[in-house]
Structure 1
């Protein structure tokens, strides 16, 4: 009987100790809030960074290279009176030209490699012919004839057909062509006198321009 009691006491204490160990190993229950809900454990979320917006580079206008300024052609000064008077004097000695014949003077054509003072040249040519044996077609008569035939007032009559048509409209017997050729710094002046009735060139003269 005494042995049985000792064995029972030892078993009781063993059970008691094992119960304490089991209670200590269990995790504590979650704490309930007053409304009966369970608060979940807090979780930590990493902070999200706002992406940085970079400003685009400024737009600059494309640089343009300055365009070279074209050079103005140099105008060569020719002594037209000294150049044209000897040619006109030579033309007057052409045989078979009756005094007082009507002459249509074409504007001087520039065929050089530069620029010449054509207005001064035409004035000097008419001045040289003013004391000749020819009767010159006036500027007003020429303008009226061009208007009648539908020719531009600025037409230089480079076409022989136009010149003959104008000369016949003006009852002119002769047409005078004058052209400058070659290097503008050493130009040559050529004259041709044409008979309107046949279209034949009855005289030609050429001389170096005087400067």
Structure 2
């Protein structure tokens, strides 16, 4: 399946790959991050009134990170197993930051990548934050406008 252009119910098309690649390229330039660092990518959240498939956004983020072979990304299998061990429902999408941080610590991830789609002053943006799991400190944040055709 081609995730570059995904129509929503309103027949809008969003070109996710260039938006996400732009942000991921900025993450890769951060000093001190090594290729062997473990990264947990949290599910994207949609805080707009537009129908957007956040699972597609999350998938494109994961593909973009993996393509650059920079981080060791926590696999879906690791997440599923850890949910079982921690007695977290398999249906839980980890929208609560405390749960996501707990999972990241359990799998020994150094970093957590959080993303959200938000509407500000009538425009839509994809926002990302790279969080140092050990301290909870946001070490990088970026935003990119989303164009809806």
Normalising by structure 2, report the TM-score. Answer: 0.84
Equivalent of residue 100 in structure 1, options 36, 55, 63: 36
Question: Which structure shows the higher strand fraction?
Answer: 2
Name the residue aligned to 1:52: none
Superposed, 1:29-68 pairs within 5 Å as: none
Superposed CA offset, 1:113-154 (max 9, x none):
121022221221111011231110011111111121122223
1:120 paired with 2:56, answer: yes
Equivalent of residue 176 in structure 1, options 103, 109, 113: 113
Equivalent of residue 141 in structure 1, options 78, 81, 105: 78
Name the residue aligned to 1:20: none
Q: Describe the SS at the equivalent of 2:135.
A: coil
Q: Describe the SS at the equivalent of 1:187.
A: strand
Name the residue aligned to 1:160: 97
Tell me if the contact between 1:75 and 1:114 (Cα under 8 Å) persists in the aligned partners.
Answer: no
> What is the root-mean-square deviation in Å for CA atoms of aligned residues?
1.8
1:187 paired with 2:124, answer: yes
Tell me the CA shift for residue 75 of structure 1.
6.2
Aligned length: 138
1:74 paired with 2:13, answer: no
Distance 1:147 1:109, change over 3 A: same
Larger Rg: 1
Q: Describe the SS at the equivalent of 1:198.
A: coil
Name the residue aligned to 1:205: 142
Q: Which has the higher contact order (CA 8 A, sep 6+)?
A: 2
What is the distance in 1 between the residues matched to 2:48 and 2:131? 23
Gaps of 5+ in 1: 1-72
